[in-house]
């Protein structure tokens, strides 16, 4: 199974999922679903009792539901009992819960959204934007976080092209990059912030996101330039990329200043420049994507970003009330 692991939210409750590219369907952690529907403090024990109480269900689970690798509460991946949408609907029948019907509707929505995002990847970004807004993040943070998702996708696409295996090898390379710019592995960083299941990047400050983004961007560029073969060579590039990203951030901020993670303190002015480092050109000024320059909206992307199109684009000419011929619109 080609797995793309993620966390889905049902009424603010987390459910681990994996997308099977070959079968084009979601698989859900059975224990997580039971925890949501039953509100049990011990969903694993609840599942055991369900199997004893309903022999047909026990047989159904053993025959139809596979073991799928998902990330556990410790941050490590292990195989758990999983079920696709059809199988989850069968399991729901054995759980008396007022949440059953809302959950069925939620399952349908999750499947529909994945299909829509496959056809139009921009919708995934739009949904992430909406989620962060609902969670109360400020506009500047959301802007950088969305941009960091694009940067991360470019990096993983490059790793895939270099023969790096998704899952464990991706995690090790990510650790190398994180350690290079922050001095900590991803797990150590999460421990520092008191995080367990939570997403580390969703709990980073704007400055931390930018530094991580610079490190990943640099790693992508180095990989494209040196074309490493396989995991071990890519690991060397990841270390170089992480360190180079920090140096670039410090140099763009102010010559002679130390970057965060290197033990230095950062002034307010330097912090501002670090946060905007992804946008700064050789002249030290912010530079935007050419398409974004002509748009009235404030969500402008860096000149480093490749923008194929934008559904929110609205020309500056429209704002000024001037048509293409230079005449004032009526």
pLDDT digits (tens, 9 = 90+) for 20-63: 777 767 888 999 999 988 888 898 999 998 888 888 888 888 88
Q: What is the DSSP string of 10-68?
A: ETTEEEEEEEETTTTEEEEEHHHHHHHHH--S-HHHHHHHHHHH-HHHHHHHHHHPPEE
pLDDT in tens, 76-118: 778 889 988 888 888 888 888 888 888 877 777 665 555 444 4
Could you tell me the pLDDT band of residue 162, with boundaries at 50, 70 and 90?
A: very high
- Whether residues 153 and 217 fall in one domain: yes
Radius of gyration of the chain (CA): 23
Looking at residue 91, what is its pLDDT?
83
Q: How far apart are CA 143 and CA 139, in angstroms?
A: 6
- Side-chain half-sphere of 49: how many Cα atoms within 13 Å? 9
Q: Say if residue 180 is in the same domain as residue 213.
A: yes
| pLDDT value at residue 161 | 92
Q: Taking the CB of residue 78, how many other CB atoms lie within 10 A of it?
A: 10
% of the chain at pLDDT higher than 70:
71
d(CA 225, CA 158): 11
Q: Residue 107's CB: how many other CB atoms inside 10 A?
A: 21
Residues 255 and 152 in one domain: yes
The span from the CA of 28 to the CA of 173, in Å, is: 27
The pLDDT score that the predictor gives to residue 274 is: 52
Q: How many domains does the chain have?
A: 3
Q: Examine the domain organization and report whether 80 and 145 are in the same domain.
A: no
Q: What is the pLDDT of residues 118-131, one digit of tens each?
A: 434 455 666 677 77
Quick one: 185 and 38 in the same domain?
Answer: no
Residues 250 and 303 in one domain: no
From CA 294, how far away is CA 160, in angstroms rounded?
35
| Tokens found for residue 154 | 């470019």
265 close to 250: Cβ distance less than 8 angstroms: no
Pairing relation of β-strands 25-29 and 13-20?
Answer: antiparallel
Q: Is 205 helix (H, G, I), strand (E, B) or coil?
A: coil
Q: Indicate if 85 and 159 belong to the same structural domain.
A: no
Same domain, 251 and 131: yes
Looking at 63, 96, 119, which one is the last position of a domain?
A: 119
Mean pLDDT of 138-153: 85
Residue 93 CA: distances (Å) to CA of 8, 27, 36: 21, 18, 14
pLDDT averaged over every residue in the chain: 76
Q: Domain residues for 172?
A: 122-287
Query: CB neighbours of 172 closer than 8 A, spacing ≥ 6?
Result: 231, 235
Instruction: Choose the final residue of a domain: 119, 154, 181.
Output: 119
Same domain, 141 and 204: yes
Name the domain boundary from 74, 90, 119.
119
- State the pairing for strand pair 67-71/25-29: unpaired
Helix (H) / strand (E) containing 248: helix 230-253
**Shared domain check, 134 and 225:** yes
Q: Rounded CA gap, 62 and 232, in Å? A: 39
pLDDT of residue 233 exceeding 90: yes
Looking at 16-20, 133-137, 325-329, which range is the least confident one?
A: 325-329
SS3 158: helix
pLDDT tens, 264-320? 444 455 455 555 666 766 566 678 888 888 888 888 887 767 676 777 777 766 555
Does residue 10 sit in the same domain as residue 106?
yes
Q: In terms of domains, do 170 and 258 share one? A: yes
């Amino acid at each position: 199974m080609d797995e793309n692991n993620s966390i889905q939210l049902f009424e603010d409750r987390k459910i681990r999922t994996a997308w099977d590219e070959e079968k084009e369907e979601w698989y859900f952690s059975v224990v997580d679903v039971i925890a949501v529907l039953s509100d049990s403090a011990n969903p694993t024990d609840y599942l055991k009792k369900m199997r004893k109480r309903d022999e047909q269900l026990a047989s159904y689970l053993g025959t139809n539901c596979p073991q799928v690798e998902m990330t556990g509460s410790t941050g490590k991946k292990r195989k758990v009992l999983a079920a696709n949408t059809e199988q989850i609907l069968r399991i729901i029948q054995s759980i008396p819960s007022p949440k059953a019907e809302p959950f069925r509707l939620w399952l349908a929505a999750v499947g529909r959204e994945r299909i829509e995002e496959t056809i139009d990847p921009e919708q995934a970004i739009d949904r992430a934007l909406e989620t962060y807004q609902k969670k109360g993040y400020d506009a500047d943070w959301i802007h950088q976080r969305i941009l960091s998702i694009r940067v991360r996708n470019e990096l993983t696409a490059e790793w895939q092209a270099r023969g790096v295996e998704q899952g464990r090898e991706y995690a090790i390379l990510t650790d190398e990059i994180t350690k290079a710019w922050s001095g900590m592995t991803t797990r150590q960083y999460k421990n520092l912030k008191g995080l367990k299941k939570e997403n580390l990047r969703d709990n980073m400050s704007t400055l931390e996101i930018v530094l991580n983004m610079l490190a990943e961007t640099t790693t992508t560029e180095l990989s494209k330039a040196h074309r490493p073969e396989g995991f071990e060579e890519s690991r060397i590039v990841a270390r170089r990329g992480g360190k180079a990203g920090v140096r670039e951030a410090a140099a763009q901020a102010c010559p002679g200043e130390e970057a965060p993670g290197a033990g230095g303190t950062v002034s307010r002015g330097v912090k501002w420049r670090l946060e905007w480092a992804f946008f700064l050109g050789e002249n030290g000024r912010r530079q935007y994507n050419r398409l974004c320059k002509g748009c009235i909206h404030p969500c402008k992307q860096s000149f480093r970003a490749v923008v194929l199109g934008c559904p929110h684009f609205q020309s500056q000419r429209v704002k000024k009330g001037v048509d293409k011929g230079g005449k004032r619109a009526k």
